[in-house]
């Protein structure tokens, strides 16, 4: 993939992600504000949804950082496209896993949606590794 396309993808993804998770943050604040029991009364749900919000927002920043790095780079390393794809996978699966884990849960254990999170974590670690290799 061409450099311009990749950095553009991550700029778009990053800003879209920040926008979406800012709205989700607003929604969580609203649940707090109106003391919605379905959210406040379940510690597992609160934890999972907070984690979904935090991971989504931070990964949005990572997308922006990657886009900035790509725009400033003279040329792409060979591993960057794979890192880009892995970051995208992680950016979907981690927040989604936390969200689903809090949507259906068992007492203090999150629901089976949480299985997406380790998948995303592996993808994120892979992305970091690839970028590190390219940056050597």
Partner 1 sequence: MASSGARVGQVGVAGLCLAALALAWGASASRFARVARGRASERVQARALPTDRPASEGFVGSKRCQACHPDAYATWHQSWHRTMTQAVGAGTVLGDFARAPLPHADGPHALERRGEEFWVRMPEANWLLERGAGEVEGAAPFAWQRVVMSTGAHTMQLYWVAAEPGRRLVAFPFAWSVEGQTWVANEATLLRPHEPDVVYGWNEVCLKCHAVAGAPEVELGADQRRAAVGTEVAELGIACEACHGPGADHVEAQTSPLRRYLAHLGRAPAEAIVHPGRLDAHRSSEICGQCHSASIFPDHQAWLGRGSAYRAGDELAASTQVVRHPVLADQPWIDGLLDVDPDYLSGRFWGDGTVRISGRDYNGLIESPCYADVEFGCASCHEMHGDFPDDQLSPFARNDDDRQCTQCHTALGEDEGLGSALAEHTRHAADSAGSRCVNCHMPHTVYGLTKAIRSHRISTPSVEESVSYGRPNACNACHLDRSLAWTARALEQGWGLGWEGELGELGLAEGERSAAVDWLVRGDAGQRALAAWAFGWPSAQATAGTDWMAPLLVGALDDEYAAVRWVALRSLRTLPGYGALDWSLARPLHVDGAPELAEEQARLWAEWAHPGRVEPALYLGAEGFEQARWRHDHERRDRRPVDLRE
User: Interface residues with partner 1 (CB under 8 A)?
Assistant: 41-44, 106-109, 112
CB of 91 to partner 1, least distance (A): 25
Question: What is d(CA 136, CA 120) in angstroms, rounded to the nearest whole number?
Answer: 24
Is the Cβ–Cβ distance between 115 and 77 less than 8 Å? no
Least separation, in Å, of the C-beta of 103 and partner 1?
Answer: 15
CB-CB contact of 65 with 114 (8 Å): no
Distance from C-alpha of 42 to C-alpha of 34, rounded to nearest angstrom: 15
Cβ proximity to partner 1: between 42 and 71 the closer is 42
Q: Name the residue nearer to partner 1 (CB basis): 75 or 107.
A: 107
Instruction: Classify 1 as helix, strand or coil.
Output: coil
Tell me the CB-side half-sphere exposure of residue 56, using CA atoms within 13 A: 24
Judged by CB, which is closer to partner 1: 9, or 45? Answer: 45
User: Shortest gap between Cβ of 117 and partner 1 (angstroms)?
Assistant: 13
CB of residue 44 to partner 1, shortest distance in Å = 7
Minimum CB distance to partner 1 smaller for 29 or for 109? 109
């Amino acid at each position: 993939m061409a450099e311009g396309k990749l950095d553009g993808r991550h700029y778009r993804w990053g800003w879209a992600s920040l926008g979406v998770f800012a709205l989700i943050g607003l929604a969580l604040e609203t649940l707090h504000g109106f003391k919605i029991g379905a959210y406040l009364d379940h510690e597992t749900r609160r934890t999972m949804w907070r984690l979904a919000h935090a991971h989504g927002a931070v990964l949005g920043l990572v997308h922006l950082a990657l886009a900035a790095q790509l725009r400033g780079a003279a040329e792409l390393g060979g591993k960057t496209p794979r890192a880009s794809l892995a970051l995208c996978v992680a950016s979907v699966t981690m927040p989604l896993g936390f969200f689903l884990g809090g949507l259906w849960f068992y007492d203090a254990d999150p629901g089976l949606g949480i299985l997406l999170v380790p998948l995303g974590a592996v993808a994120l670690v892979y992305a970091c590794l690839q970028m590190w290799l390219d940056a050597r």
